[in-house]
Structures are given as C-alpha cells and as structure tokens.
Chain A
C-alpha cells in the first residue's frame, strides 16, 4: 500500500510537469510562428522596397515596450553608464514583451485565441518543424492539448 501511495504521488508529479511542459511548448510554438512570420513579412517588404527600412525606424527584437496615456508625466533618472534607469509615472502603464507585440500585430494568426483561418493554418504549419505541425492544428481548433490526453492516462 505504501509503494502504491508513492507511485500515485510520482504519477501526479509527472502529470503536473507534463502540463507545464505542454503550456511551454504551446507558448514556444506561438513565438516561433510569430517570429518567422515577422521575418518573412520583412523580407518580402525589403524585396518590394529594394532594401530594408531606415535604421532609425526599426526596432530589432528582443525589446520591451511600456505604454501609457499621452497625458502621463514620467520622471526618468538614468545612470551615467546607462546601466540603470528609474521611471516614476503619475499614471498607470502597461509593460509588454516583443512576442506580445507580435501577437497584437496578428503575426501569430490568432492561434493564441484558438481562432485561425485554414489559409493561415497552412502558413503557420509551414513555419514550424514537421513533428510540431499536429500541435499547431490542435491549437487552431482551440482544443487545448495542454490538458488533453492526460485525463486518459490519469484514468
């Protein structure tokens, strides 16, 4: 009985770890699709415009953005070596990383919301390794495979 109890605990620990890894894989897939879609778009634009846009009008990944109302007053202190910054806002703000910006730009085809046209799904699958294509299809149908399948094994 003691051994069965230990095995049961081990099983639950593994199920939890698998759930986390599936969520991580889903996020990495979204990142990969958004990233490669962005690169493809930029390369097409560069071909059309016969060259990359002006350097001071582009922001290379990775980056963060902080957005706030235009009326916000921001007090910013910077160390002389630019290693430290301190921002004080008199209003609320939001912080987003570059992947979130790409998702908002539609670079992940709305897969994070489980909505994606068949055309976009085809494109999205072409951006990931073959072994991961089925996971992309599942994301598109909104069937969250993060929790799927484990129920079978747990029963």
Chain B
C-alpha cells in the first residue's frame, strides 16, 4: 500500500507541475484594441430598463460591499491613482 501511495503521489506531482506550466502560458498581453463600446454594454443591459455604471480603477483598488440587510452600499478605495466612474449613455 505504501508503494502504491508513493507512486500515486509522484503521478499527482507531475500532473500539478504540468498544470502550473499551462497556467503560465495563459498570460493576457495588453493591447490597444482591447475595449468594448457603449453599444456592446447596451446589447447586454437594456438601456430602457437598466442603468450601467462603468468603473475604471487602478489595480489593488479595494471594493467593499456592505451587508445588504443594512444598506445597499458600495465603497471604492484606491491607493495607486484616481478612479474613473461614468454612466454608460443610453444612446
């Protein structure tokens, strides 16, 4: 049983290493054409019924949602730069 377990752990070790290598491959490179249009947002949130707020925040910005039983509150706190917030125009 000891030998079987050692073999299984060795196989799992190899499987985990392979996954780590594959995860490393999945890096997203920045690109100027990586944007959505307001039209895209309107295609998934009906502007006649929905309001869409867009938030552009620096990395590590802390977003905190309070307990909804008390209040519907969202706070944003950045440490690396200003946060931009705007409404997606209806048309």
Contact: B22 with A82, CB < 8 Å? no
Within 8 A of A (CB), among B40-74: 40-41, 43-45, 48-57, 63, 65, 68, 71-74
Within 8 A of B (CB), among A25-78: 25, 28-29, 31-32, 35, 38-39, 42-43, 46, 52-53, 57-70, 72, 74, 76, 78
Q: How many residues of A contact B (CB 8 A)?
A: 71
Contact: B33 with A4, CB < 8 Å? no
A residues near B28, Cβ cutoff 8 Å? 31-32, 35
B residues near A22, Cβ cutoff 8 Å? 19
List, sorted by A's number, 30 A–B pairs whose CB atoms are closer than 8 Å. Answer: A7-B6, A11-B8, A14-B9, A18-B12, A25-B26, A28-B26, A38-B35, A52-B33, A57-B37, A57-B39, A59-B35, A59-B54, A64-B54, A65-B88, A67-B50, A74-B53, A82-B83, A83-B77, A83-B79, A83-B81, A84-B78, A85-B75, A89-B73, A92-B68, A95-B63, A95-B65, A98-B36, A132-B26, A153-B12, A153-B15
Report A's interface with B, CB cutoff 8 A: 3-4, 7-8, 10-11, 14-15, 17-18, 21-22, 24-25, 28-29, 31-32, 35, 38-39, 42-43, 46, 52-53, 57-70, 72, 74, 76, 78, 81-93, 95, 98, 101-102, 104-105, 128-129, 131-132, 135, 149, 153-154
